[in-house]
Structure 1
Amino acid sequence: MIKPISAFAVLGALALALTACGTTDVAASADTDTSAATGVGCADDATTTSTGPVDLTDAFGRTITLDQPAQKVAVLEWQQIEDVLSLCLTPVAVADADGYRTWDTAEELPESVESVGTRQEPNLDTLFATEPDLVIVEAYTRDDAIITQLEKYGVPVLATLGANAEDPIAQMLGTFDLIAEATGRTERADVVKEEFAQHLADAKTDIADSAPAVTDFVYFDGWVDGGNVSLRPFGQGSLVGELGEELGLTNAWTGEVDPAYGLGQTDIEGMTTIGDASLFYTGTVDPDSESFVDAAAQNPAWASIPAVAEDRLAAFPGGIWTFGGPRSAEQIIDAYVAAITK
């Protein structure tokens, strides 16, 4: 089970386990092309990148001033890595490249990009050896330790907010817009956002036309610890949950969730309270944990859940990052359509 690193503090009350993928630093590639068209649709992109000075305010009211849009960016969180790639820019350095490639397949990260350690503890010496003109981070407060550390190097730091359960879709798009502004790629951002909006509208029509017998759902992931199965429902305020509701479905998880990501915590018995709702879960294989679904099937209570008994339990395709940007959101939408209309 993987969860957003920046969510560690806000999710403490839920006592969620933390699993993170580490990486080994590799030598910087001299031929890294920071202008390569790596994102979906970038090969045919005809948008214009601005060249003038940049003066913007980040998610914490900090002013970011650049003589020109950032071209060599280092990125320390997966959603923002995806966003940079969607904007047709290849980062010079990222945190946990191997983990990104496992958990976020919405945009392909070139092998040439420097990996600078884990998301929790990036190797700053390796990061700054790539000579970025902007570092993009995820934080929760203006005085977050990572911002303070990075600012000592004298390189501009764009701090983005990890999530906001009050409006997760708007938050996701707002982060995308910030990065686009910092890199001079607002025209490209508009194209991606329009594609996302059309993707959502088309999928909503597809689901409505299929007239599903059950429209209630719960999306969840989980992990196994000492033989015990812990499940994490994505409730109100989660990006996955809100995308489902935008499609005309109803998120049936009504338990307690955290104020940033909309995530809850329960066990198998707790999942028996969701009524007839269909169950969807992550299909990404965690290399550090056994299958929580296989483990759950060993508990007799699991078979009593209507969705399990009626074969309305479905895995979303592997590699969908449920805390990602517009392209991940499109993957989530496609997964809903495939599961609902099968």
Structure 2
Amino acid sequence: MRTFVPDYRLSRRALLKAGIGGAALAGGLPMAFAQGGGSPSAPRIAALGWACAQTILALGMVPLVVPEIERYGRLVVEPAVPSSVQEIGLRSEPNLELLQSLAPDVIIIDPSIMAAMPRLKLVAPVEVFTIFKPGGHPLETARRSTMELAQRLGVQAACEAYLARFDVAMTGYREQVRGRGGKPLYLVSEIARNRALVFGPNSLYQEVLNQFGLKNAWTGQSGPWGHTSVGLEVLAAVPDARLVLLSSRVADIEALLKSSPVLQTLPFLRSGRLTVLGNQFFYGGVPAAERFARLLAERLPQDNNEQG
């Protein structure tokens, strides 16, 4: 299965089309931008969160700025941030002076910095990109938010094509994992001392598991972001489970295995039922779901192969 990537040529055409006559662009962006003499080919976008940044990049657009670019590269990974994008500081504390000097047409933020909206509105119109809502389904919400964002930016055609490619890719990944859903999976991103951060039924990943016909070994409560911290001994409750590690810190886990008596007693680790997917951005949207699904399809072994 090939790596799923955005079709940048299509999105570029959509951007150029949006600029002709200004009608499509004016219908998508806040009126302040539509009347403000922005670029005829694409709006100047400031992405002040990782979830909105990865989505904007997946739609084939390049924002002016992204926060904590080096950490984004390590933790979010995909889509990669082009070298032309400037660093805007911390996600929690963007550099407002730099932002103002760049004169963006629109600012896209994640809900985590809603408190800064009054100050940001002094620079440019602000749009909030939301994925997690109380009682909502993150992937479904992410799709809807992506379509709404694309409409505001005037790239609806690029968004429709992107989501269509995502659906085709997911169908392919589902075929790859067919017949490998016998054992339930613990999805864990961190293991420290005697505790683990495990993902539950309201996580972004649960919707991928549902599509693939795979079982989540953790059926207990989880927080608003879809995860919760539990004692390692709790994971022994499903002895035939497989541990799927959503982290690149394998060396840390190997060191813990040697030093933690609790870890050494867990059935899935004693039997070698460990699959490492590498870093995953569990606060992300459609691109984050696709990365998780692709790597899971590539690396999840057959149930009779206990060493994958």
What's the TM-score bracket when you normalise by the shorter of the two chains?
0.7 to 0.9
Residues 134-171 of structure 1: per-residue CA shift (max 9 Å, x gap): 10001169xx3121221133x10001224136211111
**Which of 248, 265, 269 is the aligned partner of 1:284?**
248
Gaps of 5+ in 2: 303-308
Mean Cα displacement is larger for which, 166-175 or 295-304? 295-304
**Mapping of 1:317-328 within 5 angstroms?**
317-318=278-279, 320-328=280-288
TM-score by length of 2: 0.83
**Which of 250, 255, 267 is the aligned partner of 1:294?**
255
Residues 271-317 of structure 1: per-residue CA shift (max 9 Å, x gap): 2223322110123349xxx8256325522221222221221111103
User: C-alpha displacement at 1:232, in angstroms?
Assistant: 0.9
Mean Cα displacement is larger for which, 211-220 or 192-201? 211-220
Partner of 2:62: helix, strand, or coil?
coil
**Which of 106, 109, 120 is the aligned partner of 2:81?**
109
Equivalent pair of 1:55/1:65 in contact (CA under 8 Å): no
Partner of 1:109: helix, strand, or coil?
coil
**Which of 46, 56, 65 is the aligned partner of 1:84?**
56
User: C-alpha displacement at 1:258, in angstroms?
Assistant: 1.3
Residue 67 of structure 1: aligned partner: 34
User: Could you tell me how far apart the structure 1 residues matched to 2:112 and 2:89 are?
Assistant: 21
Residue 316 of structure 1: aligned partner: 277
Residue 270 of structure 1: aligned partner: 234
Residue 245 of structure 1: aligned partner: 210
User: Could you tell me how far apart the structure 1 residues matched to 2:249 and 2:119 are?
Assistant: 33
Residue 304 of structure 1: aligned partner: 265
User: Could you tell me how far apart the structure 1 residues matched to 2:284 and 2:86 are?
Assistant: 21
**Which of 14, 17, 22 is the aligned partner of 1:48?**
14
Residues 169-201 of structure 1: per-residue CA shift (max 9 Å, x gap): 111112211221122111111111111111111
Q: How many residues align?
A: 286
User: C-alpha displacement at 1:109, in angstroms?
Assistant: 0.6
**Which of 168, 180, 201 is the aligned partner of 2:171?**
201
Residues 123-142 of structure 1: per-residue CA shift (max 9 Å, x gap): 1111221111010001169x
**Mapping of 1:166-205 within 5 angstroms?**
166-205=136-175
Residues 16-50 of structure 1: per-residue CA shift (max 9 Å, x gap): xxxxxxxxxxxxxxxxxxxxxxx733146575232
Structure 1 residues 84 and 329: alpha-carbon distance in aligned structure 2, compared to 1, 3 A threshold: same
Partner of 1:323: helix, strand, or coil?
coil
User: C-alpha displacement at 1:233, in angstroms?
Assistant: 0.5
User: Could you tell me how far apart the structure 1 residues matched to 2:51 and 2:59 are?
Assistant: 12
User: Could you tell me how far apart the structure 2 residues matched to 1:98 and 1:108 are?
Assistant: 10
Equivalent pair of 1:268/1:296 in contact (CA under 8 Å): no
User: Could you tell me how far apart the structure 2 residues matched to 1:88 and 1:223 are?
Assistant: 35
| Alignment of 1:212 onto 2:180 | yes
User: Could you tell me how far apart the structure 2 residues matched to 1:148 and 1:45 are?
Assistant: 31
User: C-alpha displacement at 1:89, in angstroms?
Assistant: 1.1
Q: Which letter maps to 2:183?
A: T
| Alignment of 1:230 onto 2:190 | no
Residue 146 of structure 1: aligned partner: 116
Q: Percent identity at matched positions?
A: 20
User: Could you tell me how far apart the structure 2 residues matched to 1:237 and 1:299 are?
Assistant: 30
Residue 8 of structure 1: aligned partner: none
| RMSD, aligned α-carbons | 2.6
Structure 1 residues 64 and 146: alpha-carbon distance in aligned structure 2, compared to 1, 3 A threshold: farther
User: Could you tell me how far apart the structure 2 residues matched to 1:150 and 1:304 are?
Assistant: 52
Partner of 1:152: helix, strand, or coil?
coil
User: C-alpha displacement at 1:55, in angstroms?
Assistant: 4.9
Structure 1 residues 101 and 215: alpha-carbon distance in aligned structure 2, compared to 1, 3 A threshold: same
Larger helix percent: 2
**Mapping of 1:109-148 within 5 angstroms?**
109-139=81-111, 144-148=114-118
Residue 223 of structure 2: aligned partner: 258
Equivalent pair of 1:230/1:268 in contact (CA under 8 Å): yes
Runs of at least 4 residues off by over 4 Å: 43-47
Equivalent pair of 2:194/2:260 in contact (CA under 8 Å): no
User: C-alpha displacement at 1:82, in angstroms?
Assistant: 1.0
User: C-alpha displacement at 1:90, in angstroms?
Assistant: 0.8
Q: Which letter maps to 1:67?
A: A
Structure 1 residues 197 and 213: alpha-carbon distance in aligned structure 2, compared to 1, 3 A threshold: closer
User: Could you tell me how far apart the structure 2 residues matched to 1:54 and 1:285 are?
Assistant: 46
User: Could you tell me how far apart the structure 1 residues matched to 2:181 and 2:128 are?
Assistant: 44
Residues 240-259 of structure 1: per-residue CA shift (max 9 Å, x gap): 22212211101121222113
Residues 184-231 of structure 1: per-residue CA shift (max 9 Å, x gap): 1111111111111111112212222xx22633111111254xxx3431
Partner of 1:108: helix, strand, or coil?
coil
Q: Which letter maps to 2:230?
A: T
Gaps of 5+ in 1: 1-38, 58-62
